[in-house]
Structure formats: structure tokens, C-alpha cells
Amino acid sequence: MSALYLKSQRKLFDIRDRLLGKDIRVTEADLKPTDRFLMERFITAAVSIEGDLSPQESFNDINPSSLTAAEYRPQLKAVSIDIETDYQASTLYSIAIYSADVSIVYMVGLADSASLKTDESRNLEFYQLNSEREVITAFVQKDSRAGPRCDYGLEYS
């Protein structure tokens, strides 16, 4: 058995198809080059990257000089998300988030402005927003700040 490495994914697919067209058996041709790159370096989860950091407008670009497997165990938080819709799932009513740290309900309803009601004894925040778009936007903004977690009890009804 021989390994064949190419400089582009397009060339890889072209050579693979040409070999298969001539009835030449190709093994592991279904593996994506990016997956193969990681597997050959025994990278299965966390990774350590050394290289030059180049901040861009909305992300950081890294030109790596070294990519190695690393040990990392995030401190996960358990979060339950409940999305309420009509029977056909065509109209959104509310999105609720519950965890040890937060208890929030975003509900679609007529409001002069985004309203907030709190129940300090139960650590509950209730937001009544004017549209489905506002509810989804508020949820995504809150969700993007949540950090590593394990979602459970995802319920869509």
C-alpha cells in the first residue's frame, strides 16, 4: 500500500475519480483532507497552536507553525432550552433558557419597548418582545455569551 499526498483537495478528488474509473482500488478516499491531517497528528479533541496571530475585523487569523494535541477539560454547565411554537412550528411563541445561573424567558407579545420583569426570589428574567425576530436575536445574543456547556432537555413544541 502507498500513500498519495496532493497539494489541493481538488487534485485529490480528481486523482481519486481517475483511479476509480480504471478500477484501481482506493482506500480511505472518503476521508476529508482536514480530518486526515488531524488524525495523522493524533489530534482528536483539544489542540495547542503556536504561530503568528493576526487580528481581523471579526475574528483572529493564526498562521500556525506548530499544531499538536493537548489536554483540556472544560468546566461544562448544564442548560435547558425550551422553544414554544404553534402546532405546525410556523409561529414562534417563546424561547426559555434555564440553568443554575440563569432563568430567562423571551416571549413574543406586543410591548411598547422591550420589557423586563424580574422575580428575584426565583432568579427569573422575563422579556416581552415585539416580534419573533427580536426574540430569536435576544436568545442568540444571550446564548453566544454562555460559554462551554451541555444542552439538555431541548424541547420544541
- Domains in the chain: ranges and CATH: 9-69 (no CATH), 77-156 (3.30.420.10)
* Distance separating alpha carbons of residues 122 and 124, to the nearest angstrom: 5
Each residue's pLDDT expressed in tens, for the chain with a length of 157 residues: 777 778 888 888 898 899 889 998 888 777 787 888 888 888 988 888 888 989 998 888 888 778 888 998 888 888 888 999 988 889 999 999 888 888 899 999 876 555 566 666 667 888 999 999 999 999 988 877 767 777 766 555 5
Sign of CA dihedral 35, 36, 42, 48: negative
- Residue 54: φ, ψ to 5°: -125, 100
Is residue 3 helix, strand or coil? Answer: coil
